[in-house]
């Protein structure tokens, strides 16, 4: 099948909003730490003070943009570290600041998840356009490198109608790739568009699985420009609505400047930033979990809410929960994060864990063979659990923890034992861990610890008697008994034989024994 190579462009009015995000910061302490969001756009200005590092301290080396792929000008350079992050249009940098900007130097315009890390994927040129092929190349690169850079969410503030859209959006190649990103473990947030009328949500926001975002004005009514569903297949879109009008964020190539933009382009990275907060609260969440929680905790708005739009037939349906103007409604950050955090245990913010290990200049805990991470906890817990933030990892128990104490250690060897079975990562280098305390049916907020593994050789524990298995102890007993018996026979030979004895009293008798230990299970 031949598909038309249409063009995709920026919905050039862009995004973010305040939806109780400050309450999340204050009540849970979550700021997006431990998560990585890909900005698939025009690039990211890696020199801007709000985007160049995590702690805004020039004496440390903790880069915020940890990888950059340029599908426009250098598609052959694919490892993500060959090109310094840049933006020759400005749209992507503005979006990046909404998602995860620190707000430096004045901290007036802080992003939704200021401690999240970013990956820049440049698929739009200096004019704000890119072909279907180029956009899909960037999306595929993001999927291919999701394990390496721990990419758990992505923001795409781009879209446009290819001619094939008029037949079937699901046949469109970009839509299929967008659905594939969701299934691969990356929560994909896509702008609804700025067409301002009904049935104008195009590729790739019309894809079935993705989280399509409409734009609100700051009074929470729908923005006049926000595109509305349904899609060509009659699917209700958008999924959610986030503030996108008059959003202040990073102004590219200014080092310290900020500027205002409006559009669903700006709403989308704000919602992606909330996704990063939710993933910090619960790294187990799938992209579909994120979407469902955001939808179910949103405040539903009828189409004609605050006279921002004309009434629609859905307004007459009792207890309706979705329409083609607001989707499921106005996103609420704190309920979304609390629901995310409480999927397995109830979140108890009175419990806390604190890192006591020293940080190096890169703000990482460096671990070599024999080293450990050390923590303090606010009160004794029943268990302490940890996991890497790798997509395929799961929680493990720190078995050495004494539940009557308030100190915790996690060894280099235990970390290697867990990580070496995960796909797509190199053990040496940067890793991100989440650690929590469990007491009854409640859990502390997750503590995120960034580490640098400085070698993969595990420490060999010396074996004492108490460390030997039952089989090993039995083997030693048998060998010892045999030695004693043979020694006795030797003594008897000396006594009973004249001149022809085999053993002599002055001979040194030795026996070689092999210790057979249990194999690792």
Q: Which of 110, 333, 325, 304 is nearest to 213 (CA)?
A: 325
Active site annotation includes 108: no
CA distances from residue 81 to 53, 138, 174 in whole angstroms, order as listed: 16, 15, 26
Q: Which of 265, 298, 333, 336 is catalytic?
A: 265
Give dist(CA 490, CA 380) in Å, integer: 60
Q: How far apart are CA 93 and CA 373, in angstroms?
A: 35
- Residues 368 and 375: their CA atoms lie apart, in Å, by 17
| DSSP helix/strand/coil, 153 | strand
Written in H, E and C, the secondary structure of 294-311 is HHHCCECCCCCHHHCCCC
Q: Tell me the β-bridge partners of 439.
A: 442
Main-chain phi, psi angles of 9, to 5 degrees: -135, 165
Contact 266, 215 (CB under 8 A): yes
Q: Which residues contact 393 (CB under 8 A, 6 or more apart)?
A: 283, 387, 418, 419, 422
Axis crossing angle, helix 264-281 with helix 287-296, rounded to the nearest 10: 110
* 41 is known as an active-site residue: yes
The yes-or-no answer on residue 265 being catalytic is yes
d(CA 150, CA 290): 16
**What is the token pair recorded at 361?**
């200049």
Question: 54-71 in b/e burial notation, b at 16+ Cβ within 10 A?
Answer: bebeeebebbbbbbbbbb
CA distance 371 to 448: 18
Of the residues 19, 48, 91, 330, only one is catalytic, namely 91
Of 13, 14, 33, 41, the active-site residue reads 41
Q: What is the DSSP letter of 217?
A: -
C-beta of residue 312 within 8 angstroms of C-beta of residue 273? no
**Secondary structure (3-state) at 494:** helix
- Name residue 383's beta-bridge partners: 438
Q: What does the DSSP 8-state code read for residue 517?
A: P
Q: How many residues does the chain have?
A: 521
Q: What Cα–Cα distance (Å) separates residue 130 from each residue in 88, 360, 371, 404?
A: 13, 41, 48, 59
Residue 355 CA, chain-centre distance (Å), reads 20
Distance CA 170, CA 162 (A): 12
Active site residues: 41, 91, 265
């Amino acid at each position: 099948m031949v598909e038309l190579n249409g063009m995709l462009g920026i919905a050039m009015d862009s995004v973010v909003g305040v939806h109780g995000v400050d309450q999340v910061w204050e009540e849970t302490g979550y700021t997006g730490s431990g998560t990585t969001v890909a900005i698939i756009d025009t690039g990211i200005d890696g020199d801007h003070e709000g985007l160049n590092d995590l702690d805004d301290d020039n004496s440390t080396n903790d880069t915020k943009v940890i990888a950059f792929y340029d599908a426009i000008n250098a598609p052959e350079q694919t490892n993500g570290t060959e090109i310094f992050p840049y933006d020759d249009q400005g749209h992507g940098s503005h979006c990046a600041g909404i998602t995860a900007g620190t707000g430096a130097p004045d901290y007036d315009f802080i992003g939704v998840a200021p401690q999240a890390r970013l990956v820049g994927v440049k698929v739009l040129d200096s004019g704000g356009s890119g072909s279907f092929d180029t956009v899909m190349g960037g999306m595929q690169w993001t999927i291919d490198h999701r394990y390496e850079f721990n990419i758990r969410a992505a923001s795409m503030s781009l879209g446009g109608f290819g001619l094939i859209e008029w037949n079937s959006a699901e046949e469109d190649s970009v839509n299929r790739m967008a659905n594939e990103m969701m299934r691969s473990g990356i929560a994909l947030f896509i702008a609804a568009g700025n067409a301002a009328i009904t049935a104008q949500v195009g590729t790739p926001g019309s894809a079935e699985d993705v989280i399509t975002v409409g734009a609100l004005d700051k009074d929470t009514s729908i923005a006049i420009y926000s595109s509305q569903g349904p899609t060509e297949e009659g699917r209700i879109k958008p999924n959610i609505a986030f503030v996108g009008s008059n959003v202040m964020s990073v102004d590219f190539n200014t080092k310290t400047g900020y500027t205002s933009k409006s559009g669903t382009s700006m709403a989308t990275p704000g919602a992606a930033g909330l996704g990063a907060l939710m993933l910090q609260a619960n790294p187990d969440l799938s992209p579909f979990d994120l979407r469902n929680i955001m939808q179910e905790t949103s405040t539903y708005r009828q189409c004609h809410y605050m006279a921002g739009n004309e009434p629609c037939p859905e307004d007459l349906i009792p207890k309706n929960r979705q329409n083609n103007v607001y989707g499921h409604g106005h996103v609420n950050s704190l309920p979304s994060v609390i629901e995310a955090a409480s999927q397995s245990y109830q979140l108890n913010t009175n419990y806390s864990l604190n890192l006591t290990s020293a940080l190096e200049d890169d703000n990482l805990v460096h671990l070599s063979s024999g080293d450990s991470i050390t923590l303090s906890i606010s009160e004794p817990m029943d268990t302490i659990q940890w996991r890497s933030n790798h997509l395929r990892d799961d929680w493990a128990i720190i078995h050495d923890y004494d539940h009557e104490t308030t100190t915790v250690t996690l060894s280099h060897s235990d970390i290697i034992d867990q990580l070496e079975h995960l796909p797509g990562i190199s053990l040496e280098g940067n890793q991100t861990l989440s650690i929590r305390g469990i007491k009854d049916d409640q859990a502390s907020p997750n503590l995120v610890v960034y580490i640098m593994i400085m070698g993969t050789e595990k420490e060999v524990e010396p074996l004492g008697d108490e460390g030997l298995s039952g089989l090993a102890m039995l083997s030693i007993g048998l060998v010892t008994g045999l030695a004693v018996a043979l020694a006795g026979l030797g003594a008897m030979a000396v006594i009973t034989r004249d001149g022809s004895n085999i053993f002599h009293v002055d001979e040194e008798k030795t026996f070689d024994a092999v210790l057979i230990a249990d194999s690792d299970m």
